[in-house]
Amino acid sequence: MEITQHKLAIVTGGGSGIGLAIAEKFVQNNIRTVIIGRDQQKLDNAKKNLGELCDPFSGDLNELDAIPGLVKKIIDKYGRIDILVNNAGINLKKEFTEVSDEEFQKILLTNVTAAFALSREVVKYMLEKQTKGCIINISSMASQYGLPKVIAYTASKSAIEGMTRAMAVELSPKGIRVNCIAPGFIATDMSAKALNNDPERKNKVLGRTPMGELGQPSDIGDAAVFLASGNAKYITGVVLPVDGGNSIGF
């Protein structure tokens, strides 16, 4: 067993985009970070860039039966888990009437059920070891106001925010803080593809964002570091928009 003296964080979907930015900020703050994802190449590239405090674990969180074993593997290797960031998620852009039951359930499985199952297994360990732990869920502007053609994604992110509050009231008395970050429109490869191909949508996004620009993935990373740190020791159950004012813009 490799007992680590560093705090240990798990970031799901940590191989790219916002997850990678969160992992990068954790590593910069001397937190050993396990990134979980399905794409081994992305994970390996992330490890190369982030260095020795980053460790990739390949796994599909939709395989719910495998989650307890995955958490045990991490505990057996490092001896601790202090922080969990539930970032992994998938989207589906489709007309409301064309979304099938199977598609809806797949989004909920990845974005909600897997996050719940992983949190449950990590919390079991934290309670057993009496760890003063921290869980950060990642939501979306889709849960702050209505967006067309993303019904399943919206339902999943609204569920994540409700889960955050329910987890916080149950777990905070036991020393585990639970918070949520709701990113606005962030300049990732995925958003660039969507917005650059749709100038009207891009103008609408920027027009209702008081700060007048897209956020950077590092902005979400900074928020995660804050919520995971002692500076946020009296904060639990909040949904923090990191959105340049988008959710209150007109």
Residues tagged active-site: 153
What is the per-residue burial (b if ≥16 Cβ within 10 Å, else e) of 98-119?
ebeeeebeebbbbbbbbbbbbb
CA atoms within 13 A on the CB side of 150: 15
3-state percent helix, strand, coil for the chain, nearest multiple of 5 = 55, 15, 30
Alpha-carbon 240 to chain mean position: 13
Q: Cite the DSSP H helix spans in the chain.
A: 17-28, 40-50, 67-78, 101-108, 114-129, 151-171, 189-196, 199-207, 217-228
Q: Which two tokens stand for residue 39?
A: 């794409």
> Is residue 130 within 8 Å of residue 175, measured between CB atoms?
yes
List the structure tokens of 122: 């990590």
Residue tagged 């958490």 (tokens): 71
